[in-house]
Amino acid sequence: DSTKVGNLIAVSKQMLKYQLGIDMEIPIILTDTAVGNAISEANQMLLDEVKYTDRTDYMLLKTQKSLNEYDLKRHHLSALPSLAAFGTAAYTYQTNDFSKFFGNQYVFYTVIGLQLKVPIFDGWQRRSRVSQAKISLTQTENNIDNLKRGIDLENKQYKTTLKNALYTLDNQERNFSLAKSVLETTREKYKAGVGSSMEVSQAQTEMLNAQSNYFQAMLDVINAQSDLRKAMGQFK
């Protein structure tokens, strides 16, 4: 049914506009150049290497690892002796006669010293804190390794999906071109009186079906690209 196929094409175009961020009221025309550029971009994405640093979740774990390392270092250093200098200076005044408050009865003094702290035994608290800090660091490192494996798997899966989508698009483009050629030939035969209107109607329906499949294949490529971009951290 040509009406049904026409509706499918209209829906496919609207979905394609949505994915491309185009105003729904603007007519969409897929030129050979536009399609070629989209396919070239998709093929380039298949060659791009994974950059873990582009992923926000990876960078958050790297930051957490740095914090864990600083925490472990802090607990290790707490076992070392510490030496600190201190000092103070002040004026003091004492009198039983308030009228002499503004006299020269002030006494200036200073205190300067060193404070040495030598940890001896803290009931194994430091050892416990160091052990816990090591565990936290190991857990974060394991999380980073697991995330990297997950990112690699995601990229392989989405690249495979994109490859399949491009393969399907190529086939649907060939089918669409063939259907248009058949329709044109059928119309010429009808004009020459050697074809029937039913043949023209059937060829037109097949062309519309091929066009609908072509638009859907293009939409699948765009969706596959979007998924791969997310997996590669290109969407923030």
Domain ranges for the chain, please list them: 2-62+127-231
Closest residue by Cα to residue 129 from 72, 80, 82, 69: 72
Using pLDDT thresholds of 50, 70 and 90, give the confidence band for residue 212.
Answer: confident
What contacts 83, CB < 8 A, 6 or more positions away? 114, 115, 116, 117
Please check whether residue 151 is in contact with residue 55, taking contact to mean a CB–CB distance below 8 angstroms. yes
Name the least confident of 93-97, 123-127, 148-152: 93-97
Q: pLDDT tens digits for 40-78? A: 888 898 989 889 999 999 999 999 999 999 998 887 776
Structure tokens given for 167: 């393969």
How crowded is residue 133: how many other Cβ atoms within 10 Å of its Cβ? 19
Mean of the per-residue pLDDT values of the chain:
81
Task: Could you list the beta-strand ranges (E) of 74-157.
Answer: 82-92, 107-117
Task: From residue 1, give the alpha-carbon distance in Å to each of 5, 16, 77, 167, 224.
Answer: 6, 23, 80, 28, 30
Q: At residue 2, does pLDDT exceed 50?
A: no
- Among 211, 203, 75, 218, smallest CA distance to 136 is for 75
pLDDT > 50? residue 159: yes
Residue 185 has pLDDT above 50, yes or no: yes
pLDDT given at position 42: 86
The whole-angstrom separation of Cα 38 and Cα 45 is 11
Distance (Å) of CA 193 to CA 63, 139, 196, 201, 203: 77, 80, 8, 15, 16
